[in-house]
Amino acid sequence: MQNATHMGMNRTGAKMSPIDVSRMEEAAMNAPETEPDGSSITMMRSEAIAEADRVGSVPIPGTVRGVVSTGVSKLKGEKPEVLLDKLGERLAFERTGTRLYEALIAKCEMTPDTGLVPPLAELQRIHDEEAQHFHMLAEVLEGMGADPTAQTPCADVSAVMSQGIMQVVTDPRTTIPQSLNAILVAELADNASWEMLVQLAEETGHDEMAERFRAALAEEEQHLASVRQWLTAAVSNEAL
CA distances from 91 to 137, 139, 150, 163, 211 (A): 6, 10, 10, 16, 17
Domain that holds residue 140: 81-239
The residues, any chain, with a CB within 8 Å of residue 159's CB and separated by 6 or more, are 92, 96, 151
Residue 6 lies in a domain: no
The domain total for the chain is: 1
- Give the 3-state secondary structure of residue 209: helix
Instruction: Return the pLDDT at 136.
Output: 98
Does residue 66 sit within a domain?
no
Q: Is residue 25 part of a domain?
A: no
Amino acid at 198: V
pLDDT digit of tens for each residue in the chain (240 aa)?
A: 555 666 566 667 777 777 787 888 888 777 776 666 667 788 888 998 899 888 888 877 655 455 445 544 543 445 788 999 999 999 999 999 999 999 999 999 998 766 778 999 999 999 999 999 999 999 999 998 899 999 999 999 999 999 999 999 999 999 999 999 999 999 999 999 999 999 999 999 999 999 999 999 999 999 999 999 999 999 988 877
Domain-embedded: residue 49: no
* In-domain check, residue 16: no
Rounded to an integer, what distance in angstroms lies between the CA atom of residue 74 and that of residue 11?
Answer: 60
pLDDT of 64 reads 45
Burial level of 185, CB count in 10 A (0-12/13-18/19+)? Answer: middle
Judge whether 232 lies within some domain.
Answer: yes
Query: Is 31 inside any structural domain?
Result: no
Q: What's 160's domain CATH number?
A: 1.20.1260.10
* Inside any domain, residue 19: no
* Structure confidence at residue 114 (pLDDT): 66
